[in-house]
Structure 1
Amino acid sequence: MESVVSVFPNGRRQLFTTRSWDFVGFPENAKRTTVESDIIIGMLDTGIWPESRSFDDSGYSPPPSKWKGTCETSKNFTCNNKIIGAKHYRSNGQELVGGDIPSPRDSEGHGSHTSSTAAGRVVSKASLFNLGLGRARGGVPSARIAVYKICWSDGCYDADILAAFDDAIADGVDIISLSVGGSFPLNYFEDSIAIGAFHSMKNGILTSNAAGNSGPAAASITNFSPWSLSVAASVIDRKFVTNVQLGNNKVYEGVSVNTFQLKDTSYPLVYGGDVPNEAAGFDSSESRYCVYDSLDKTKVNGTIVVCDELNDGTTANDAGAIGTLMQDGGYKDYAFSFPLSASYVGTQDGTTIINYINTTRKPTATIQKSTEVIDKGAPYVVSFSSRGPNPITADILKPDISAPGVDIVAAWSEATTVTGEEGDTRVVPYNIISGTSMACPHATGAAAYVKSFNPSWSPAAIKSALMTTATLVSPKTNADAEFAYGSGQINPIKAATPGLLYDITEAEFVSFLCGQGYNTTTLRLVTSDNTTSCTKSNNATVWDLNYPSFTVSATSGQVTRIFHRTVTNVGNPISTYKATIIASPHQLSIQVKPTILSFKSLGQKLSFTVTVTAKIPKTIISGALIWDDGVFRVRSPIVAHSYA
């Protein structure tokens, strides 16, 4: 059919899984607008648990008049003046499994967690069994939430994602939050999320996307369209550790979110490789890793079992273990929950523990409840957060920004348990989980906060404000530099008054796409505008897209690129900005013309060029351009890399 933009399989996407707002410098008493309660955030996720205290509507007025959506009510779900709309999507017709509920009600927990992080109201004494105890709140606590349930226990399907985008746009949401993504990169118009985000941008709505959980591999980011906000996950200065005490009184520190209390009682300690389920055909080469059904239940029941690999704990739990210790060389910068008492230690401590088992007649151990410690290195981007560079358009920096995404306390569904694993009986109103899924709603909340002060700003303007005011993250703790954190960590208060904006219109995105090789026919289908045309004059290079960052790529050698940019004054009516360049002169030469921008009114636009000459490295080199008028510092990263 002529109206078809592109055809691709109805693929399946995956979910990318309190102190965080204070950590980014956004306190509860931050200045608020009187129209914050008119902001509507569209959450495309697993639904919501409406009874959570985070979504109580006490004191709320009816929904704003701009709201055009509906609530899909049923015997087990109703909306209120906080959750003003809700729908669920299941177009493939496949039977629901795993306890899924055919309504907007959340049976996974993920959607409730992201919704409360973005816009949950203030809740005192929120915690997971007193871990992370504090006041839970969203970035915009008085904003409204519209729920679009697109994800189920078997994933999130493209057809449902696109349908939800269409509905959210028609319903009148202000920001769309989507903590969902694929496993590999797709071209812009073969990607349902990029297509949906383009339509939302066209209608004045910014889409906030999780970068993905496939890091730290290079170019692992899967949500990277230039019209959406791509969010990486960083740690906050709180970390959960779980100590293990052996029968010889030696204590070893591991990581986990462990709510179980063994009350310092010691239990027999066994090594998984010594207790294989031989009756089922397993040997030590498998049981050492505690793979499914590989442990002998007779020998493991009532013990703490040591495994040579991080796992979900279900095998040990099924075998009747009291607890499990897991050891390997994996990253320890975030903590998992398990269905039984557990701790995850490094290989050095793991080897010592196994030696203790092998040299002790009756080895014993106990696992203590998790405690909170200060992570002095924060913020830094967590290992699992997907990295740049942009795998489709190498000269647009991705991710755009980072936000807290590790060990986040937020609302949870009481239709599931802490882990959702079989054998876990802990039903809780608040849970602690990690992922770029958790970072995304932090950026969503920040974007909504900026929108509440600047309701007429375009999606690109809001994105620019967040990027150019971001807090710098140290490259010393982030070896991948901007490929890990983009412009830096969100700073909502500064973003509300950024000074200057790099704005981008739909027409400019179309011109960029023409320059990327998309033809007139395809773009007219995407834009629904028959005047769209890829002419010679409407065929921009990637370096001319008015993006708030600058990127140069080449396979090797020295390369020069010229960038054309235009900034809009939203600071002081009369102001003079001077350009400051930060760069290593031996690797990166940056010239700006003119070096001074003098504004005489608000809304005035001035243009400049940036010429970047780079000796392309094996990985990445970076610098920055800062426009400074003495009040506002508008910072843009400049990156050169050789990724091909």
Structure 2
Amino acid sequence: MISLRPCLLFILLCIATVKHAHSNNDRKTYIVYMGDHPKDTDLTSIPSLHTTMAQKVLGSDFKTEAVLHSYKNFNAFVMKLTEEEAKRMAEMESVVSVFPNGKNVPRTTRSWNFLGLPQNTNRETTESDIIVGVIDTGIWPESESFSDKGFGPPPTKWKGSCHNFTCNNKIIGAKYFNLKREFAKDDILSPRDGEGHGSHCASTVAGNSVNSVSLFGLASGTARGGVPSARIAVYKVCWKTGNCGDADTLAAFDEAISDGVDVISISTGLGNIVHVPYFQDSNNIGSFHAMKKGILTSNSANNLGPNLYSMTNYAPWLLSVAASTFDRKIVTKVKLGNGAIYEGVSINTFDLKRKLYPLVYGGDIPNTAGGHNSSTSRYCEKDSLDKHSVQGKIVLCESIQGAEDAGFLSGAVGVIFGNNYPKDLPGAYALPALEVTLWDLRLIHSYLTSNRNATATIFKSEEVNDGLIPSIASFSSRGPNPITPNTLKPDIAAPGVEVIAAWSPIDPISSVKGDKRKVKYNVISGTSMACPHATATAAYIKSFHPNWSPAMIKSALMTTATPMSRTLNPEAEFAYGAGLINPVKAPNPGLVYDINEADYIKFLCGEGFTDKELRVLTADHSSCKGQANKKAVFELNLPSFSLYVNDSYFSSPYRRTVTNVGSTTSTYKARVIAPSLLNIQVKPNTLSFTSIGQKKSFYVIIQGRINVEILSASLIWDDGNHQVRSPIVVYQF
């Protein structure tokens, strides 16, 4: 008789093996965050402590390579876990948060002149000691914007280095991060920029002045950064896979802090609207630890607008920057065979010499051999059009997903497509193209259907003056802060539409393979372009005041901002924050609102953090005892006031403290601008100072009734020389 025991053992072994393999396959990369390192910890021992934690969670599944990365300036590490293991890790005594290694995405000739910062503006010699850290897609070092001609050696404080990259005295640091080792075929395994986005941002902050640049004649002039004498350190975290990983972003922050940068600029964010707690996001965590070391982080507000609550980074310790228009507007026109001309938007550098071509509708020419019909060809989806039917013709499409999806549109001469959104995000395509309103699309389609020999031509783009300036771009993400409603976000606005700056010449302007247009300077739009304008202004302030804290610099940016029009921006302060940056006024604000780490701890107590969480976060004896007050947010010393109300009548007091950084002897009087529905009192309403650095406190009491969604007001402290303006917003939605 044959024994069943060996068979049974074999089956059980197979099941165990399959289960083990399935468990490994279920593991995803997580970041385990534990705040600050314990005091007096030998940093060389940190990796072994992280390994011990991994062993406790993984048990028999543990392997020595389980911990993928350990950070230096904050207590965190990266490892692969299942959801169940991640939950067990999060329950450990010393852990603040455990969150997936999510994917973020990357988010000027005239812009600095528009902001009032001319090329010959007053500059401190210490500007060349300022080091700006740019976390992005890398940098193209051969660009004239990054030449080190005339630069001396790096500042002695600099501790950074260059990895697989030749630096100079302008680009003094360059590193790259890809902990998961996931690369696209044409990725460059160095800090060199293969996409252009990082070079564009870096040159907007600190690029040299370069004369006679343009994009095939568009946006011609002198390209320059806001602080052209400053040094640049680049930290490449974004790759052609479309991924700017959280773990890599945290690694970049970690290195930038150690290297000794003065300001950090990061134009990345989530690709969709997700509201996560403050310490479950790499930008918020990294900027928190940068703040503790005296480094301000400037972050793009994201491109997920125009709806309210569309921001994804809203921590009060970082600077959130919205994108505004300025006095450049690029338009593209199409002319039909009947003489009608319609204005649309794109960056079209092709010139059809006004020649008319046959006009066809995508829905009428599907690629039936490829399995398509009019339901897909009307949207001109990839390979949905019949190649023979589009040759030598301009195609009318209902819409197009993007330049890369459109490609060369099966060999068409050009394409016209419709969009619901406002015309402030022009794209570059691999063929003549423009985007028109849906109304104009219908009119063009009507012409096509009523004429058997319909024709059209697409003109090369041209520049026109935009009379409705500045306004916030439709794509710019809006507040309020979904986690802490009584803090204002975004903080500030800066030019982010049709900005020209340095580019990587190996990446075509349409990002479509086969597009032979390679350029050294490109025109693009996004909050990614606004962020470096604010970063540069922060660096400019830092060059005058090297000892100012991040909060003081942020305060100077906000209280000197130029107010923007509520008429052009119905979301008001939730679109533009304090207003448009004013680089000339920012270094001399008169008064500043300062915030230190202890103030943020008190704020976090009010947000519901426990003693245990705070002790882990700060690695000291921080306690919420006596501080766990939900009204703590009203005492956080921000240079803005935001009040969410759910009752018709409200009354809320705010405590603020200002520091005198203007005239030694001065007296400021409070002036309030408010609608009749608001009663705003300032106590005391006069502040007198007798020395620089002197502090004075006051209360702002906001009372009233609300019968609209948003009420806007402002408080201005005025000594005759300085007008220190803080935005006030009351809302219900």
**TM-score for the superposition, normalised by structure 1:** 0.97
Q: Specify the alignment match of 1:58 in structure 2.
A: 149
Say yes or no: does 1:178 pair with 2:269: no
- Equivalent residue letter for 2:239: W
Is 1:555–1:616's contact at 8 Å kept on the other side of the alignment?
no
- Structure scoring higher RCO (CA < 8 A, sep ≥ 6) equals 1
Q: Specify the alignment match of 2:345 in structure 1.
A: 255
Q: Specify the alignment match of 1:6 in structure 2.
A: 97
Equivalent position SS for 1:384:
coil
Equivalent position SS for 2:100:
coil
Q: Specify the alignment match of 1:78 in structure 2.
A: 166
Question: Residue 290 of structure 2: which of 180, 200, 212 is its match?
Answer: 200
Is 1:273–1:287's contact at 8 Å kept on the other side of the alignment?
yes
Q: Specify the alignment match of 1:426 in structure 2.
A: 517
Question: Residue 102 of structure 1: which of 166, 170, 189 is its match?
Answer: 189
Is 2:381–2:400's contact at 8 Å kept on the other side of the alignment?
no
Q: Specify the alignment match of 2:456 in structure 1.
A: 365
Question: Residue 158 of structure 1: which of 246, 249, 253 is its match?
Answer: 246
Equivalent position SS for 1:457:
coil
Q: Specify the alignment match of 2:19 in structure 1.
A: none
Q: CA deviation at 1:502?
A: 0.4
2:154, 2:576 → 1: CA distance? 36
| Residues 299 and 537 of structure 1, relative CA distance in 2, 3 Å threshold | closer
2:150, 2:580 → 1: CA distance? 33
After the TM superposition, which of the residue ranges 96-105 and 451-460 deviates more from structure 2?
Answer: 96-105
Q: Specify the alignment match of 2:396 in structure 1.
A: 306
Q: CA deviation at 1:312?
A: 2.1
Question: Residue 720 of structure 2: which of 630, 634, 644 is its match?
Answer: 630
Say yes or no: does 1:43 pair with 2:134: yes
Q: Specify the alignment match of 1:552 in structure 2.
A: 643
Q: CA deviation at 1:625?
A: 0.4
Is 1:417–1:428's contact at 8 Å kept on the other side of the alignment?
yes
Q: Specify the alignment match of 1:233 in structure 2.
A: 323
After the TM superposition, which of the residue ranges 280-289 and 503-512 deviates more from structure 2?
Answer: 280-289
Q: CA deviation at 1:537?
A: 4.2
1:538, 1:274 → 2: CA distance? 66
Q: CA deviation at 1:5?
A: 2.8
1:311, 1:366 → 2: CA distance? 22
Identity of aligned residues (%): 57
- 1:83-139 deviations in whole A, cap 9, x for unaligned? 000000000122x11521110001111100000001101000111111100100011
Q: Specify the alignment match of 1:468 in structure 2.
A: 559
Q: CA deviation at 1:498?
A: 0.2
Is 1:311–1:326's contact at 8 Å kept on the other side of the alignment?
no
Equivalent position SS for 2:99:
coil
**TM-score for the superposition, normalised by structure 2:** 0.85
Q: Specify the alignment match of 2:333 in structure 1.
A: 243
After the TM superposition, which of the residue ranges 391-400 and 415-424 deviates more from structure 2?
Answer: 415-424
Q: Specify the alignment match of 1:188 in structure 2.
A: 278
Equivalent position SS for 2:599:
helix
Equivalent position SS for 1:477:
coil
2:336, 2:465 → 1: CA distance? 25
Q: CA deviation at 1:49?
A: 0.4
Question: Residue 215 of structure 1: which of 292, 301, 305 is its match?
Answer: 305
Q: CA deviation at 1:538?
A: 6.8
Is 1:589–1:613's contact at 8 Å kept on the other side of the alignment?
yes
Alignment of 1:103-142 (within 5 A): 103-142=190-229
Say yes or no: does 1:67 pair with 2:158: yes
Is 1:239–1:334's contact at 8 Å kept on the other side of the alignment?
no
Q: Specify the alignment match of 1:169 in structure 2.
A: 257
Is 2:175–2:236's contact at 8 Å kept on the other side of the alignment?
yes
- 1:139-198 deviations in whole A, cap 9, x for unaligned? 100100000001112211111111111110010000000001123121101111101000
Q: Specify the alignment match of 2:660 in structure 1.
A: 569
| Residues 98 and 578 of structure 1, relative CA distance in 2, 3 Å threshold | farther
Question: Residue 276 of structure 1: which of 335, 350, 366 is its match?
Answer: 366
Q: CA deviation at 1:559?
A: 1.6
Q: Specify the alignment match of 2:598 in structure 1.
A: 507
1:98, 1:316 → 2: CA distance? 19
Question: Residue 323 of structure 1: which of 385, 409, 414 is its match?
Answer: 414
2:212, 2:521 → 1: CA distance? 10
Q: CA deviation at 1:292?
A: 1.9
- Equivalent residue letter for 1:157: G
Is 2:407–2:430's contact at 8 Å kept on the other side of the alignment?
no
Structure label with greater radius of gyration: 2
Q: CA deviation at 1:610?
A: 0.3
Q: CA deviation at 1:294?
A: 1.3
- Equivalent residue letter for 1:55: F
1:523, 1:301 → 2: CA distance? 65
Question: Residue 289 of structure 1: which of 379, 382, 393 is its match?
Answer: 379
Alignment of 1:389-400 (within 5 A): 389-400=480-491
Is 1:201–1:227's contact at 8 Å kept on the other side of the alignment?
yes
- Root-mean-square deviation over aligned CA pairs: 1.3
Say yes or no: does 1:341 pair with 2:448: no
- 1:460-484 deviations in whole A, cap 9, x for unaligned? 0000000000001111100110000
1:131, 1:193 → 2: CA distance? 34
Question: Residue 314 of structure 2: which of 224, 231, 249 is its match?
Answer: 224
1:97, 1:163 → 2: CA distance? 20
Is 2:287–2:317's contact at 8 Å kept on the other side of the alignment?
yes
- 1:298-321 deviations in whole A, cap 9, x for unaligned? 101221101111432443614101
Is 1:272–1:288's contact at 8 Å kept on the other side of the alignment?
yes
Say yes or no: does 1:91 pair with 2:182: no
After the TM superposition, which of the residue ranges 490-499 and 331-340 deviates more from structure 2?
Answer: 331-340
Q: Specify the alignment match of 1:494 in structure 2.
A: 585
Is 2:605–2:627's contact at 8 Å kept on the other side of the alignment?
no
| Residues 525 and 262 of structure 1, relative CA distance in 2, 3 Å threshold | same
1:328, 1:104 → 2: CA distance? 37
- Equivalent residue letter for 1:353: I
- Equivalent residue letter for 1:484: A
Q: Specify the alignment match of 2:611 in structure 1.
A: 520
After the TM superposition, which of the residue ranges 320-329 and 588-597 deviates more from structure 2?
Answer: 320-329
After the TM superposition, which of the residue ranges 339-348 and 210-219 deviates more from structure 2?
Answer: 339-348
Equivalent position SS for 2:528:
helix
Q: Say how many residue pairs are matched.
A: 636
Equivalent position SS for 1:524:
helix
Q: CA deviation at 1:618?
A: 4.6
Say yes or no: does 1:581 pair with 2:672: yes
Is 2:407–2:429's contact at 8 Å kept on the other side of the alignment?
no
Q: CA deviation at 1:68?
A: 0.4
1:98, 1:390 → 2: CA distance? 39
Question: Residue 114 of structure 2: which of 20, 23, 28 is its match?
Answer: 23
1:166, 1:444 → 2: CA distance? 19
2:514, 2:149 → 1: CA distance? 36
2:232, 2:250 → 1: CA distance? 19
1:315, 1:21 → 2: CA distance? 34
- Equivalent residue letter for 1:478: N
1:228, 1:121 → 2: CA distance? 27
Is 2:657–2:696's contact at 8 Å kept on the other side of the alignment?
yes
Is 1:295–1:316's contact at 8 Å kept on the other side of the alignment?
no
Q: CA deviation at 1:285?
A: 2.2
Is 2:382–2:409's contact at 8 Å kept on the other side of the alignment?
no
Question: Residue 436 of structure 1: which of 505, 527, 530 is its match?
Answer: 527
Is 2:379–2:397's contact at 8 Å kept on the other side of the alignment?
yes
Equivalent position SS for 2:411:
coil
| Residues 538 and 568 of structure 1, relative CA distance in 2, 3 Å threshold | farther
Equivalent position SS for 1:79:
coil
Q: Specify the alignment match of 1:478 in structure 2.
A: 569
1:603, 1:536 → 2: CA distance? 29
Is 1:553–1:616's contact at 8 Å kept on the other side of the alignment?
no
2:176, 2:616 → 1: CA distance? 27
1:172, 1:141 → 2: CA distance? 19
Structure 1 unaligned runs (5+)?
none
Equivalent position SS for 2:730:
strand
1:523, 1:595 → 2: CA distance? 36
Equivalent position SS for 1:324:
strand
Is 2:407–2:512's contact at 8 Å kept on the other side of the alignment?
no
